[in-house]
Structure 1
Amino acid sequence: MKKLYKPILFVSAIACSTSLFTACRNTGKPTEEKVTVVQKDSLTDYVANRLPIYERVKLSTNLNQLSVNDRKILPLLIQAAEIMDELYWKQAYPQRDSLLATIKDEKTREFVNINYGPWDRLNNDKPFVAGVGNKPEGASFYPYGTTKEEIEKAELTDKYGAYSVVKKDSLGKFITVPYHVLFASELQRASSLLKQAALIAEDAGLKKYLNLRADALVTDKFTASDYAWLDMKTNGLDIIIGPIENYEDKLFNARTSYEAYVLIKDKEWSKRLAKYVKLLPELQKNLPVPAKYKTETPGTDSELNAYDVVYYAGDCNAGSKTIAVNLPNDEKIQQEKGTRRSQLKNAMQAKFDKILLPISRELIDADQQQYIKFDAFFANVMFHEVAHGLGIKKTITGKGFVREALKEQYSWLEEGKADILGLYMVTGLLKKGELQGDIKSYYTTFMAGILRSVRFGVSEAHGKANMQCFNYFAEKGAFERTSKGTYKVNFEKFASAMNELSAFIITLQGNGDKAAVEKTQKEKAVIPATLQQDLDRLTRKNIPVDVVFEQGVDVLGVK
């Protein structure tokens, strides 16, 4: 197996180098003695400046709501999640241990762990370890140095498979290896832990799901467990586990990464949210697009739930932390049965308190800061996830599912669709009296949310989506930047820009026009200089960009 990256040794502070590290110079004195001038390592400085963008948050919840058996299950689920974390490292940066062994600076080691590798995920994947080069678009899913064209021309039965990697055999020919073969040992351990948890589980739905998911991990056949997960209704504990999202595969947006969330359901909040999924078909009919783009009927046989998350692992823990989940990703299941939208309430509250409020005080117009509300933030995030079920899943041009037609351009545009259709849903539900509050709160908090998310950088799907929205709204006059360097929402133009952007994105998806989406990304998913200056102000004010969790059995007080 060819290694993806060669670990690069950090240069000693007293060594000569022509790189960004230390420098030695001759004083010009007529003596054999040379004077060494020790300079600070500029990459170490970079890390020292970037590390504070993460605010440390203890991830905990009230465990008194759990039964005795559920408390016994919880450590088993966390152990299984920890294995997903190890597998994600193998996908994102397989040489973790050899890399960390070369790094003496503790802050750099910590930053590597936060980013699951030597690239700053919230700064367009900028390398922060000397010599590693740019991040490969294909991570470790494809042989290092392989181009898209080589894969496209190769004769592979599982060319764009979600659960396999592409390798070269001894003759240099491309082959695919299934995850359950490549990671057999780790997956068997995780499967056994889920089976143990299933033996203890009292809830019938949870027991069935854990057994089926355990089987799925060692076969890469996830459909049955996805259906069982959607069928769970009365469980208090939950775990989302497996290879799920394809953000890490920037070559084709095809191959999935391992992750896990260990969740405790907030049954009272979940009960309050249940009614909204039933309104999807009516909202679909009223989308601001021609009829041919909204003929699909969203599935409604699923739930909208609120949880406290007690453990993040793998993909969802890398860089920016996920605060809401819409699964499963299988379009056929989505059309037939729908999805479950999981709102991670405690993580959401932490981001609101530690990040969104401070951003708003700095960048939102003083007269509109009164409209920044947690309930509006929660709703905007929630309806973002619900809105994944709206719109169009299959192209109207015969190009198959939108995901297949758009390939690596799919994820960022889909996130943009969910952002804007989530706001469209809020607007519609307020008019119908199905949602309470002031539209000004939802729109102003949405604007603040854009300013929060664009700090993730445009190398990440959500960052691209938010930049598209920012630039589109700016063109339509939906907000203005005041002479004080703050942003002020124009509520009437905000609503019309929302409808126009909704139509624009759904049309792009329905046409399956990959070239048009690429053009849109290049034109709209960019950060203007003025906005970058404003974002830099947030950094100078030491306002965090995201959070990093203290988590695990010790934090929770379980064994």
Structure 2
Amino acid sequence: MKINYLVVLSALIGLTSCSNNSENKSVLANDSLQNYVAERLPIYAKVRLTTDIQKLTENERKVLPLLIQAAEIMDELFWKQSYPQRDSLLATVQDEKTKEFILINYGPWDRLNDNKPFVKGIGPKPAGSGFYPADMTKEELESSNVADKKGLYSMIRRTDSGKLLSVPYSIYFRDDLVRAANLLREAAQLSGPGQLRRYLTFRAEALVTDNYMPSDLAWMDMTNNGLDIIIGPIENYEDGLFNARAAFESYVLVKDKEWTKRLEKYVSMLPELQRGLPVEEAYKKEKPGTSSQLAAFDVVYYAGDGNSGGKTIAVNLPNDEKIQQLKGTRRSQLKNAMRAKFDKIMVPISAELIDKSQQEHIKFDAFFANVMFHEVAHGLGIKSTITGKGYVREALQEQYSWLEEGKADILGLYMVSSLLKKGELEGDIKDYYTTFMAGILRSVRFGAGEAHGKANMLCFNFFNSKGAFERTDEGTYKVNYEKFESAMNDLTREILVLQGNGDKAAVEKVQKEMALIHTDLSSDLSRLSKKGIPVDVIFEQGLSVLGLK
């Protein structure tokens, strides 16, 4: 039977506001947990997102506002996916600080504290966010006859008869996506002939057709662009039910050409690094793509999923395994945001929790390299299981994202160690290991309920079990450099085997046993809060901040 999506859509529009958590209807005025919110708001440090506009061409200065306007639409779309009742909630809640915290978290759940509700009357965050009906179970969808049960680009809704239905994003969010596509087409025309115009044209078409591969391939081919935009439904973290559906987001970027030139050589080394992985041959037989690019950018606008929870400081895309195996990925380092996190968060954490004898090894260049090679390391390892279970992502489902982040953490460190030994990277290994340790203490504050937080806790607890560091009597952490490298190799092997086998039950067991915060660490992290050290950043951003308005 052919489905008339336009008829279905008009019937579903009225259901959008009640598609999340039915308990939200009971929210009353003066209902915020004001003391909790007042304590949590200061965990964010404000950062102005700027760049040197004078380095842009006249055309680029005309294009940039259009890209930001398109990104703003992605922000609205992410609200519709994560918490479509935003406006009614904000109108009901009276406490101004709670309203601000709702906007930071894209809803009434604290993303950096295991999604704890901070508005009375709000229940737990639905695992499937707003992608699925609130009363739907995993089993119901899996046993249904919906064609794309785990589709990247569709919303699951109920018909009046209660039947589950999949509605493509291009239909469900049609009007917003058409507006965004028109902005990209206008930007394409202003950008002049070349790679950026081609990508923007293809991406505009993707937004209104749900066919993203041509634009992903065009994006992979961009090498000489001064501006860039990552835009569309991309990451799966928000779908905690199946880790299947993609959330809307955007990053508007200005290339740092000088730093980018310094990074170009590393991608060609991926095949050699893959061969040297400390794991059995079957788990490293795939050949990583070498069309991958490393580039440094100033990010001037975050939107949607990328602006929620812990803010990313590096991006590794596309996620499509077919494109990864064909052409690799592009790794974009968000240098200005990275520097802000290092100065405002990493340095103060290190002064409090890293042993005084090792604090001299906390270096920005080491932090930059560790983050950069984390992104590069997504291209190493294995994408397809060796047990006939298909792609690792498909086999592990909701257990995939956190383990993949753990793989990137540990293989990124492996790459640093290997490149130092080959003389391809400068610095002292102690700088990289100590800064990595401080990085774990920074990132785990995002909470063990989030993918990156789980990954960091796996690293922390595994390294602890191997004696790779010690907690001193003064409550600081001291790295054992020899054991650190050995633990790194052991954890590399364990993660790659888990992924290659596609054993979801085994990964769940590791998560329950290792991806959690124990008492001593929890106490140490509380010290950071009492000292007023931020957990993450929020942004002052937009055309006025850039001096373009």
Structure 2 residue corresponding to 1:245, chosen from 235, 241, 255? 235
Residue in structure 2 matched with residue 24 of structure 1 by the alignment: none
CA contact (8 A) 1:8 1:99 kept: no
Find the structure with the greater CA-based Rg.
1
Residue in structure 1 matched with residue 114 of structure 2 by the alignment: 124
- The aligned runs of 1:249-260 (5 Å cut-off) are 249-260=239-250
* Structure 2: distance between partners of 1:319 and 1:166: 24
Q: 1:485: how far off?
A: 0.1
Residue in structure 2 matched with residue 57 of structure 1 by the alignment: 47
Residue in structure 2 matched with residue 401 of structure 1 by the alignment: 391
CA contact (8 A) 2:29 2:94 kept: no
Structure 2 residue corresponding to 1:146, chosen from 130, 136, 149? 136
Q: Which amino acid aligns with 2:240?
A: K
Secondary structure of 1:156 counterpart: coil
CA RMSD, 1 decimal: 0.9
CA contact (8 A) 2:236 2:247 kept: yes
Secondary structure of 2:209 counterpart: coil
Structure 1 residue corresponding to 2:514, chosen from 517, 520, 524? 524
Q: Which amino acid aligns with 1:122?
A: L
Runs of 4+ in 1 over 4 A off after TM superposition: none
User: 2:290 aligned with 1:300, yes or no?
Assistant: yes
Q: Deviations over 1:348-388 (max 9, x none)?
A: 00000000000000000000000000000000000000000
Q: Deviations over 1:256-292 (max 9, x none)?
A: 0000000000011001100000000000000000001
* Structure 1: distance between partners of 2:27 and 2:322: 48
* Structure 2: distance between partners of 1:375 and 1:540: 28
- The aligned runs of 1:13-412 (5 Å cut-off) are 43-202=33-192, 204-412=194-402
* Structure 1: distance between partners of 2:538 and 2:256: 23
Residue in structure 2 matched with residue 30 of structure 1 by the alignment: none
User: 2:519 aligned with 1:553, yes or no?
Assistant: no
* Structure 1: distance between partners of 2:320 and 2:94: 44
Q: 1:469: how far off?
A: 0.4
Q: Which amino acid aligns with 1:408?
A: E
Secondary structure of 1:519 counterpart: helix
CA contact (8 A) 1:293 1:391 kept: yes
CA contact (8 A) 1:69 1:201 kept: yes
Q: 1:10: how far off?
A: 3.8
Q: Which amino acid aligns with 1:3?
A: S
Secondary structure of 1:218 counterpart: helix
Q: 1:203: how far off?
A: 5.2
* Structure 2: distance between partners of 1:65 and 1:291: 48
* Structure 2: distance between partners of 1:8 and 1:99: 11
Q: Which amino acid aligns with 1:519?
A: K
Residue in structure 1 matched with residue 458 of structure 2 by the alignment: 468
CA contact (8 A) 2:44 2:535 kept: yes
Q: Which amino acid aligns with 1:382?
A: M
Q: 1:7: how far off?
A: 4.1
Structure 1 residues not aligned, in runs of 5+:
13-20, 22-40
* Structure 2: distance between partners of 1:271 and 1:8: 55
Q: Which amino acid aligns with 1:202?
A: G
* Structure 2: distance between partners of 1:254 and 1:4: 17
Structure 2 residue corresponding to 1:437, chosen from 418, 427, 432? 427
Secondary structure of 2:119 counterpart: coil
Q: Deviations over 1:298-348 (max 9, x none)?
A: 001121000000000000100211100000000010001000000000000
Q: 1:417: how far off?
A: 0.1
Q: 1:106: how far off?
A: 0.8
Q: 1:8: how far off?
A: 4.1
* Structure 1: distance between partners of 2:135 and 2:129: 10
User: 2:20 aligned with 1:4, yes or no?
Assistant: yes
Residue in structure 2 matched with residue 18 of structure 1 by the alignment: none
Secondary structure of 2:436 counterpart: helix
* Structure 2: distance between partners of 1:238 and 1:404: 30
Secondary structure of 1:488 counterpart: strand
* Structure 1: distance between partners of 2:239 and 2:490: 30
* Structure 1: distance between partners of 2:54 and 2:426: 31
Q: Which amino acid aligns with 2:166?
A: T
Secondary structure of 1:534 counterpart: helix
TM-score normalised per structure 1:
0.94
Secondary structure of 2:521 counterpart: helix
Secondary structure of 1:200 counterpart: helix
Q: 1:90: how far off?
A: 0.3
* Structure 2: distance between partners of 1:459 and 1:545: 15
Q: Which amino acid aligns with 1:528?
A: H
Q: 1:465: how far off?
A: 0.1
* Structure 2: distance between partners of 1:231 and 1:282: 23
Structure 2 residue corresponding to 1:485, chosen from 475, 480, 500? 475
Residue in structure 1 matched with residue 11 of structure 2 by the alignment: none
Structure 2 residue corresponding to 1:427, chosen from 417, 424, 427? 417
CA contact (8 A) 1:203 1:235 kept: no
Q: 1:3: how far off?
A: 3.3
* Structure 1: distance between partners of 2:504 and 2:233: 25
Secondary structure of 1:84 counterpart: helix
Q: 1:150: how far off?
A: 1.1
Q: Which amino acid aligns with 1:47?
A: V
* Structure 2: distance between partners of 1:373 and 1:154: 53
Secondary structure of 2:396 counterpart: helix
Q: 1:230: how far off?
A: 0.5
* Structure 1: distance between partners of 2:470 and 2:336: 32
Residue in structure 2 matched with residue 36 of structure 1 by the alignment: none
CA contact (8 A) 1:7 1:99 kept: no
CA contact (8 A) 1:241 1:258 kept: yes
Secondary structure of 1:523 counterpart: helix
TM-score normalised per structure 2:
0.96
Q: 1:11: how far off?
A: 4.4
* Structure 2: distance between partners of 1:363 and 1:154: 51
CA contact (8 A) 2:237 2:243 kept: yes
* Structure 1: distance between partners of 2:399 and 2:136: 19
Q: Which has the higher helix share?
A: 2
Q: 1:202: how far off?
A: 2.6
CA contact (8 A) 1:77 1:194 kept: yes
CA contact (8 A) 1:307 1:343 kept: yes
CA contact (8 A) 2:28 2:121 kept: no
CA contact (8 A) 1:7 1:98 kept: no
Aligned residues: 531
CA contact (8 A) 1:137 1:251 kept: yes
* Structure 2: distance between partners of 1:197 and 1:371: 45
